[in-house]
Amino acid sequence: MQRKASAVWQGGLKDGKGTISTDSGVLKQTQYSFSTRFENGVGTNPEELLAAAHAGCFTMALSAQLGNAGLTAQKLETTATISLEKLADGFAITKSHLDLVAKIPGADKAKFDTAVKAAETGCPVSKLFKAEISVSARLEP
């Protein structure tokens, strides 16, 4: 299986602008630029897209792991925060932190924790990152 997205950039780094599109059409010439990446301009940026991908992948992987443990979530809500930092050799994505709130009626805390860890390490997007990946998980009653 392969999924595709494309980017087009015109101009210099700070004064240029670009668009990102996906084959599915969900993103179609979506704007991105220096200001959307390093400031608060209108549009998206690669780190935001990576955060969405990691949150979505982890949450689906957790649903599968919970199913393997005989649990079904009423709701799993994950927020991913990607850290882009300036290092000595340039910018790098250094972390992806996942913050999870889960509502799983009748869940056993030990089974929940095991499922979260398995999803954290087993999600394909987690495997892609060379950056530090962390998870904060809270099980609601």
Q: How far lies 19's CA from each of 40, 56, 123, 141, in Å?
A: 17, 22, 28, 43
Q: What is the pLDDT tens value at each position of the chain, 141 positions in all? A: 888 999 999 999 999 999 999 999 999 999 999 999 988 888 999 999 999 999 999 999 999 999 999 999 999 999 999 999 999 999 989 999 999 999 999 899 999 999 999 999 999 999 888 768 889 998 988
What is the pLDDT at residue 53? 95
What is the pLDDT at residue 56? 96
Question: What is d(CA 4, CA 139) in angstroms, rounded to the nearest whole number?
Answer: 35
Show the domains of the chain with their CATH numbers.
Answer: 5-38 (no CATH), 46-140 (3.30.300.20)
What is the pLDDT at residue 7? 93
What is the pLDDT at residue 140? 87
Dihedral sign of CA atoms 52, 56, 57, 58 in order: positive
pTM for the model stands at 0.88
Dihedral sign of CA atoms 37, 123, 63, 4 in order: positive
What is the pLDDT at residue 81? 96
Question: What is d(CA 38, CA 98) in angstroms, rounded to the nearest whole number?
Answer: 21
What is the pLDDT at residue 105? 93
